[in-house]
Every structure is written in C-alpha cells, then in structure tokens.
Amino acid sequence: MSRIAIIDTAIDCAYINGKAVEYINLCGENKPCIHREISHGTLCALVLDYCASDYELVNIQIFKDNKGKVFGEIELLANSLKLCRELKIDIISLSAVSSVLSDSKHLYNNILRLSADTVVVSALDNKQYVCIPTSYPEVLGVRNDAAGLLSPGEIAYSADDPFGANIYANCDFKCLRKQHCRPSNSFAVPVVTAYVNKLINKGQSISDIKFMLQNLKPYPLGQEHKELNYPVARIAREIPIVFLADDVTEMCGTLMDRFYEKYEVQSTALSLTEGIYDIRIKNVKSIDTITDDLHFMEHHYKTDLIFIVGREKLLEKIQQHIDIDVEITCQSDGRALICYENNQEIEINSKVADRLHEILTS
C-alpha cells in the first residue's frame, strides 16, 4: 500500500467517505484549519478517492484556506518536500506551484533528493507559464484535458512538451460538478496520482512507471490539435534582450540571481552553449529556431528580462533574427565589455548586473 501526500489546504475527510487522514499542519497551528467552504485540498482528495484504492493518505497543510493558496510562501512548500522524505512518502500529489522561476533555489535540490524514492506529480500553472516544480525533468508534469479528447479518468502522454507537463488527464467527474467545480490542471493531478498508485501497488519501480507513462497513447490525438499547447495570448510588452557572449552559462546564472535578489527582476535565458541545469535557461537547438524559442519564452515564462547566451561569433547571425538591446562580452581578465546604443564601456564582472540595470532603467 503506497503512501500519498497531498500538499495543499486542509482535507475534510467527511467528503472522502471518512477515510483516515494523517494531518500535518505547517501553517503554525496545532490542528487542520477546516472552513465552511470546501477546500482545494479536499477537492483534490475527492478526485483521488474517486480514482484510487489501497493507499494511505497524508495531508500536509501549507495554506490556511483557498485564498491563502494564491499567496503561499515558497519556504513552506520547500519544508513540506523535506518532510515527505522523512515520512517515506511514495507519491506527492501537488498543485501548489510557482511561476517565479528564481524560487528554484528553494525547491530543486529537494526534488533531486526525493526523485530516487518518491514520484512527484505536479500541475501546470493554470495561466500556462513554465513553473516549478512541474517543469523539472524529475517531476511528472500534468495538465487537464481541456479539449475533452479523453474520457473521464483517462490519461495520455505528449512527448517533448515545452512546459514539461507531458501528461494529460481528463478530470471531468460528476463529483466535481456536484461541488460546482470545473476541471482544471489541479484536479488532473490526482487522476495521474491514482494511476501511479496502482502501478506502485503492483510492484513497479519508478523507472518502470516513467517508461509506462511515456508509452501511453499520444496526446494530442491528431495534427489538428497541435495548437492546444499554446492557448494563452499575453498582452504585448517590450522585454529587453541582452546578448551575453560566453562559452558557458555560469555568468548568466550569476546575473539572473543578482537581478532577482537586489532588484526583484525576473530574468530568463536562451542558451546556445553549455552549462549546469537551470530551469530559467532554455537550450536552443538551432539559431534557425531561435525566433520561435524567444516567442515562447516571452509568452510562457514569467520574465522581465531575457538573456541570449552564446559564443561571440554567433552574434551577427542572431541579429538577423532578433533585435539585441545590450551586448555583453566576457573577457579573460574578470571584466566585461558592455555595448549599448552607440556606447561601449568596461566593467568588472561583479558590477555588471548593477550597470546593466542602470542602462535598462535609464
């Protein structure tokens, strides 16, 4: 029997046939905060109970109520993930996600530690932003079958999903409609959790489970549904583009950290070079597709500034596709050449982020 943790608001077991629930409240109170309205966590548990059997349920409460779910603290989510390791949880069912990708410093190492023994099932952001932990490769990212191509309770797989939410699930259940709730990415998660639970109870390993999910029937089910991956149109806005001439992405990561920590500016990057994994950095396979990659990032990453990282010799070809606002060339002496408009200046690496911020905001 697998142990499943729902990290959310408090679960009212009266809605799930009185099933025993182990409660852990991280909101600073000694008992679960259950309110008159049915909570988001209870709704997730309702779908799980409808789809699954033979499991133990642990409710880790990190939101006091449904309103609190919107304004939750990332540190509480990180603490709940650490707790799941201690509790030897087999499956984490999660719809509490962040589209602030700089929050990754709180989450990614926890997900890495969990991934060997625990399956993390997580929802795509309902506004269709790349989000964490859903978009991590170690996580099973899930979204609702909004087009209604599947039957209730059915799941399918989409390879190479740009959001990392490869699994579609139909959660259009009468039990949700009865509570006046529409299907959503959040409620698709327990459908997939129930499927994983069944496989774990049959003795399947995590690697076997991932293989079986990848070999589900493909989604979209036909070429006419390819556009389903990009349903959200954003309000047009100018996002500055900075070219960073470098052989690796290390300095880019440092600049992005500095922008967030000092100025609360979210930044992301397109990379044509090598570097350690960073959810904020999207690898570009070819300069010929970089315009499409930029368009996707502008619309589906919550970002205020976009870096393009590549070797200096690539700049001219990139400029055939994209207008660059500022060029930064890393030098071997710990300094960088900054070019913008008709100006050139040299700055030590530790001051580049501050100078760039001055240029972009003046």
Q: What is the 3-state secondary structure (H, E, C) of 241-271?
A: EEEEECCECHHHHHHHHHHHHHHCCCEEEEE
Under CATH, which number does the domain 2-229 receive?
3.40.50.200
Amino acid at 358: E
Question: What does the buried/exposed string (b/e) look like for 101-128 if buried means 16 or more CB atoms within 10 Å of the residue's CB?
Answer: bbbbebbbebbeebeeebbbbbbbbbeb
CA–chain centroid gap for 230, Å, is: 16
Domain 241-361 sits in CATH 2.30.29: no
pLDDT tens by residue, 238-293: 899 999 998 889 999 999 999 999 999 999 999 999 889 999 999 999 999 999 99
Amino acid at 140: L
36 pLDDT tier (thresholds 50, 70, 90) = low
Give the C-alpha separation, 189 to 4, whole Å.
12
What is the C-alpha radius of gyration for the chain, rounded to an integer number of angstroms?
A: 22
**170 φ/ψ angles, rounded to the nearest 5 degrees:** -95, 120
Q: The tokens 């205020």 sit on which residue?
A: 304
Q: How many CB atoms lie within 10 A of CB 215?
A: 9
Give the C-alpha separation, 202 to 217, whole Å.
21
Inform me whether the pLDDT recorded for 29 exceeds 80: no
Would you kindly state where each structural domain of the chain is located, as residue ranges?
Answer: 2-229, 241-361
Look at 193-197, 244-248, 299-303, 346-350 and tell me which has the smallest mean pLDDT: 244-248
Q: What is the dihedral of CA 292, 275, 300, 257, to 10 degrees?
A: -140
pLDDT tens by residue, 198-254: 999 999 999 999 999 999 999 986 544 454 455 555 556 689 999 999 888 999 999
Inform me whether the pLDDT recorded for 30 exceeds 90: no
Same topology, domains 2-229 and 241-361? Answer is yes
Give the C-alpha separation, 124 to 126, whole Å.
6
Q: Which of 96, 75, 98 is nearest to 6 (CA)?
A: 96
Give the C-alpha separation, 219 to 244, whole Å.
37
Strands 305-310 and 241-245: parallel
Give the C-alpha separation, 103 to 98, whole Å.
7
8 A C-beta contact, residue 160 and residue 133: no
Give the C-alpha separation, 115 to 118, whole Å.
5
Give percent of the chain with pLDDT exceeding 90: 84
Q: Which residues contact 288 (CB under 8 A, 6 or more apart)?
A: none
Query: pTM score, two decimals?
Result: 0.92
> What does the pLDDT read at residue 237?
65
